[in-house]
Structures are given as C-alpha cells and as structure tokens.
Structure 1
C-alpha cells in the first residue's frame, strides 16, 4: 500500500503458472501431481477461486515449498482487492489512544458521531487553540500543570470543570471578600447539611464552584483553575464522600485561589490529597505544602489539635473526641479525620465519617452520579 492507495496484485495463479513454466510442467502435470482434474484446477489458476488452506498445503508438497508461501499469495491478493477502509476508523483510533473518548461520550460530555465531528468536539472541549495541533492537546496541557505528567482522564475531568464553570455567572473575583468569608465557611462545619451553603458563599466572592464525578480510574480530589487568568474556579470530585475530606480539600483549593496558584499553567493546580498528597513535609512542593497547612489549620487549629493529641495519646475515647469537637465547634467527623491521619488508623470511629455530597449538590453545579449538565462546546 502506497500513499493510502491499493496497489494491484496479480492472482496467485499467475505465480503458480510461472513456477510451472520454470519447472517445465504443464497444467495437466500439476493436476496429476495434486490428484485432481484439470477442470478442478483451472478456476484456481485463473484467479476465480481462492487458494484454501488445504490447497496451500498440497501446493507446498508439490513444489517442495512452505505452504505458508501460497497462503500468503492468496492473502496479499485478497488484501489488494479489499475495500479501502473508512478514514474515520483511523481518526477514531487516534482520538481514543489520546483521549478517554468513550468515557466522555458515556458521560454526555461530547456527542457520538462522525469522526470529524468527534475531533472538532475534542478540540473545543480541551480548549485547543487554532495554532495547536489537536493531537497535542492533552500533552500540551499536561506539561503546563505542576505535575510531570497528568493522565488524560484527570485532564478531561478538569476541562469538564472549566466547561461548566463558564456557564456560571458571578461578580468579579475579590481575594479580600474570599478571606473575609472564611469565618462564615468555618461556621458551617458543625453540621454536614450546612455544606450546601458553600457554593453561594464562594459565588459572592467571585469564585465558581463545580462538582464533577471522576472518570473511571482517575484519582483526583480537586482543582484550582483559572478562566482568563482572573476568574478562579474550584472544582471538586467528592471522590471520598466524607465530611472531613470535603472541608480539607475545599480549604486547600481556597488557599490556592488566594495565593494565585496555577495561573501560569494551562489547567491550574490538580490535587489528590490522600496520603503523601496531604503531607506537610519538605518533600511536598511548596505550593501544596502551604495549601495543606492552611487546610489542616482551618479544619482543626494546629495548636489545639497538637495539645489534644499529646494529652490523650494513645487512648482517645469517643467521649473525649466528641467533647473536643464540640469545644472546637466542629462536627466530630472532622476531628476523627485528623486523628485517623495522625494515627494511621482509618477504621477509628468511622461511624462519624458522614457523607456530604448529597447536601452540597443541592445547590452546586454538578455533573455525574446519573445526571449530566448540558454544555455547549
């Protein structure tokens, strides 16, 4: 195949006749050797009948050659006469290799259709500029995040956050208003239900808030991303649907917003805040360490937590934990989350790890868990 066009290949019979001539055999001689009549052999030699696997083995014995040689002659001839494949097949294969196309279609982020339409939707979804090659969209974005390499499933999630955020109308962003709103947010941490107020409070400060369910196998908690470098967006997955995780991730992303982290990247700060991702050690990137410290201190003031831990360790009674949470004006699940992380015991008082997603999505722009938001590409 050259330049995408089929090259004509002679039928296998042509090569068999050439071999007969080279050996000085006639068609009748070959029929005799094969134990067939000339009438049976003629359609194969004229290209009207294909060489079957059985015939390939017979010809191999007759000419003392591998049977595969004759099978290959037939295969090449068949391929040369096969219909040219639809170019859309290669396009869809390239797209699926680079992007999680099927998962995006399943979630309603893009529509299934002709390959050219799929490619156009992908370009728009990933905000590919006219001078950027579509095939480089994910790689381009990944290089400009704070990760060395960001999986396509995570990047698709971030761009879905950005896509939905553009539909939310909020006033101009004010870092001062956001800082002033922190006590109001902190006051919501007594009950799981009050988390529903978060989207409205953030909107008042000019911060768009979106919740999107992750794609399969994508480990991601949140993102701080910017629209046109001036409009911050906080996206969350509620991958771990626990009250303590929700508030830690939220405050972490708020700190990114307040410090302008992620403005210089294509998609912002992508976070998976479990294990080392929630660490405050020097091995964590400076931007993440600062955000982790702010989140931990917001959830339970560090000095208070350190004091409680030192006094009660290693025996933390349920009564002590609930009493300390009440003193801190927090839901017990938030204190339990910090204790679990410190002790490395994630089974400890698990009953206080209440879900929060169902409350937040009541008033947040949400995609996933059986519902999809229509967004124009």
Structure 2
C-alpha cells in the first residue's frame, strides 16, 4: 500500500467526486435517498461505508460498490495499523531472535504489553543498543553440537550466567591455585554428596562458579567465559543430572580456564562455522575433553583395566576397579560406556546417580526453585 492510499479516506474520494460533478451534499443525499447527515458523516470520516451504502454510492457515481468497500476497508486497516500491526511485527521479531516466553517464565525479564518496554528489557539483558545487533559472547562451551553457532536459548543462558557471576565476590584469579586444586577435586569423586564442596574450592582460586537451569532443548552442559576484569567463570547447567557427566563437564571447563580458552573466539548468534573459527574450537574442545576423561578415570588405569578384562566386563569386576581407585561406580561406568561405545552398558543399574540436590548446595544457583534477584 503506497502512502497516498494509506492517508486518503473514502470521504475524501467522495468529496472529490461530488466536486467534479458540482453536486452539493444535499443534492447527493436526494439522489441516493439517504439523510444528508450520512453523506456529511462519510465525508468527514465520522461514518463508515456499509455494504448497502457502497451499492448506492456505486450506482450513483457509476463506479460499482467494490471500489467503495475497498476504500473503506483499506482506510480502517490503516487507522489501526500503527498500533496493532506494527506492535505484532515487532513482537514477532523479538520472539524469533530470543526465547521470550521462557525468559519471562524464569523472571529474567518482566511481561509487558507495551512493546517499547519489552524491547528495552531485552536490549538491557543482552547489552545491545538496538535489536538489529546480534549479541556476541566469547566463550568455550560443552554442548551437544559444540562446533555449531550459538542458539538463542544458549545465548540467553550464557548472559544470565554472566549476570549472576558478575555479582559474585571472589579472590583474584590464581591459575596456579586452580591447577593445584585438581587433586582436591579428585578426592571428591567417591560420593555424590561431595559435589557440594566444588563452589568453595573454585572460588578460593578466583574462579566464579554458577549453576543455571537450562531451557528445554538448549543442549548446553557448561561454559567457560571471562569477565571484563579478567576473572574466569565456569557455568554449569546440570542438563543431564548424572554424577559422571557432572564431573566430566566440570573438569572440561576447568581445562578451558587453565588454557585461557574462551577469551578470543566470538560466538555469534546464528553464525556459520567459518565465522566461528572452527579449527580453533575443535582443538580447544579436544584438549578439554581429554582432560575431562582423564580426571574421571585416569587414562592409564582405564586402558590397563580394559586390556586385562576385555571382553568380559562383568559388573563385579567394574565395582572392584572403582573401589580400588576410590571413584564412584557411576563415574567409572560412564567412562567405560565411552570406551566401549556402548551407552547402554550397566545403564539401568542405578549407578549413574543424580547429584543436582548436592551440587547446588553452596553454589550460586538460578533455577529449580532457586531464584537469584540479580
């Protein structure tokens, strides 16, 4: 619809038709057999053209009723367009770019009927000046598709984690202390309850540690990123609530911190692989994965056990192996599942226990009933 068609009312067209024929409003009302107030109301825009009136106008002016019905419908649409259609299109763009409903449900932004207020909240949350700008978040992440561009749900999760971490007070980051803390963490592998000590150990090293409940389908387990003051952050989602996955992901992210990963690689919303520096990401993820696996069950120990027992991996032998190492059975089972490429191995035995209720004790947590007002 061009601008002229948008701003002209049917009454303006009717006034022009009467002027061309040198008819007064009284004369025209006599021609169509309707009150003068109706003709005057159409011209001033106070009255709408009904189907009956459109037929009468069309017969009197030789245009047909469709012309007047079209003019009336276009004019009525124009009058509500700025208020309704523009608001709807802006909301649609917001929902396309961000997980609006989920963020409102989690209380990260407030529901608002006013689109301006809603947009301002999202610009503030993602620290962008306008909604045409794609947020950039440098980080290293453990997720299902580690080499793909970041998704809207993952991006929102990361920004919330950053928001929480920014409010946390810790010592200055000490890489040596973090490296020395790994044996302390290894000593916690025997029981799920011991995961409650992780937060204290990491914060003493100057590493900010937060747990944020993931959105359904977000497929992100953890991330490492750095604040502007140079402090590292480890964020976990506990998406897969299992003892073996918890420790693997945690050690994975610790390695990212020790290696200084996540500082330079910028993950852009909906970006393709070339823009994501794919080679760098692959190398960093491989390094972190190796560290995670070796932490859960030392590689030499696992390979030696595998060589001695293969192919008779009985449940009893695995239990003996786990007890000798002082590692929870579920962690050993998880590593054996990877080594055997058999994710069904001992899966239904209940060894890969849940740890969320223990891991969130003492940790800055958002989700599952925990609400941080930051």
Q: Which bracket does the TM-score occupy, shorter chain normalised? A: 0.7 to 0.9
1:149-298 equivalence runs, <5 A: 149-228=149-228, 230-265=230-265, 285-298=282-295
What is residue 358 of structure 2 aligned with on the other side?
Answer: 359
1:80–1:180 CA distance, 2 compared to 1 (3 A) = closer
Query: SS of the counterpart of 2:10?
Result: coil
Query: SS of the counterpart of 2:233?
Result: strand
User: Which of residues 292, 313, 317 in structure 1 aligns to 2:314?
Assistant: 317
What is residue 300 of structure 2 aligned with on the other side?
Answer: 303
Q: In the TM superposition, what whole-angstrom CA distance separates every residue of 1:9-32 from its partner, at most 9, and x where no partner exists?
A: 2339829967x97xxxx979997x
Provide the C-alpha distance between the structure 1 equivalents of 2:207 and 2:266, rounded to a whole number of angstroms: 18
Query: SS of the counterpart of 1:296?
Result: helix
Provide the C-alpha distance between the structure 2 equivalents of 1:248 and 1:135, rounded to a whole number of angstroms: 37
1:84–1:301 CA distance, 2 compared to 1 (3 A) = closer
Are the aligned partners of 1:203 and 1:209 in contact in 2 as well (CA < 8 Å)?
A: yes
1:123–1:314 CA distance, 2 compared to 1 (3 A) = same
TM superposition shift of 1:109: 1.5
Are the aligned partners of 1:241 and 1:355 in contact in 2 as well (CA < 8 Å)?
A: yes
Are the aligned partners of 1:12 and 1:73 in contact in 2 as well (CA < 8 Å)?
A: no
Q: How many residues align?
A: 345
Name the stretch that deviates more: 192-201 or 57-66: 57-66
Provide the C-alpha distance between the structure 1 equivalents of 2:322 and 2:98, rounded to a whole number of angstroms: 45
Are the aligned partners of 1:12 and 1:45 in contact in 2 as well (CA < 8 Å)?
A: no
TM superposition shift of 1:167: 1.4
TM superposition shift of 1:153: 1.2
Are the aligned partners of 1:13 and 1:45 in contact in 2 as well (CA < 8 Å)?
A: no
1:220–1:66 CA distance, 2 compared to 1 (3 A) = farther
Are the aligned partners of 2:322 and 2:332 in contact in 1 as well (CA < 8 Å)?
A: yes
Query: SS of the counterpart of 1:235?
Result: strand
TM superposition shift of 1:103: 1.9
What is residue 136 of structure 2 aligned with on the other side?
Answer: 141
Q: In the TM superposition, what whole-angstrom CA distance separates every residue of 1:105-129 from its partner, at most 9, and x where no partner exists?
A: 221112334544444433332234x
Query: SS of the counterpart of 2:109?
Result: coil
Q: TM-score, normalised by structure 1?
A: 0.77
1:91-130 equivalence runs, <5 A: 92-113=91-112, 114-128=114-128
Q: In the TM superposition, what whole-angstrom CA distance separates every residue of 1:67-96 from its partner, at most 9, and x where no partner exists?
A: 765542221122344485177666544433
Query: SS of the counterpart of 2:189?
Result: helix
What is residue 73 of structure 2 aligned with on the other side?
Answer: 75
Name the stretch that deviates more: 209-218 or 179-188: 209-218
Please list every run of 5 or more consecutive structure 1 residues that lacks an aligned counterpart in the other structure: 32-37, 269-281
Please list every run of 5 or more consecutive structure 2 residues that lacks an aligned counterpart in the other structure: 22-26, 141-146, 269-278
Name the stretch that deviates more: 283-292 or 221-230: 283-292
Provide the C-alpha distance between the structure 1 equivalents of 2:93 and 2:334, rounded to a whole number of angstroms: 43
Query: SS of the counterpart of 2:343?
Result: coil
Are the aligned partners of 2:210 and 2:235 in contact in 1 as well (CA < 8 Å)?
A: yes
Q: TM-score, normalised by structure 2?
A: 0.78
Query: SS of the counterpart of 1:135?
Result: coil
Name the stretch that deviates more: 69-78 or 329-338: 69-78
What is residue 330 of structure 2 aligned with on the other side?
Answer: 333
Provide the C-alpha distance between the structure 1 equivalents of 2:49 and 2:306, rounded to a whole number of angstroms: 82
Query: SS of the counterpart of 1:189?
Result: coil
Name the stretch that deviates more: 178-187 or 63-72: 63-72
TM superposition shift of 1:300: 0.8
Are the aligned partners of 1:255 and 1:291 in contact in 2 as well (CA < 8 Å)?
A: yes
TM superposition shift of 1:161: 0.6
1:316–1:222 CA distance, 2 compared to 1 (3 A) = same
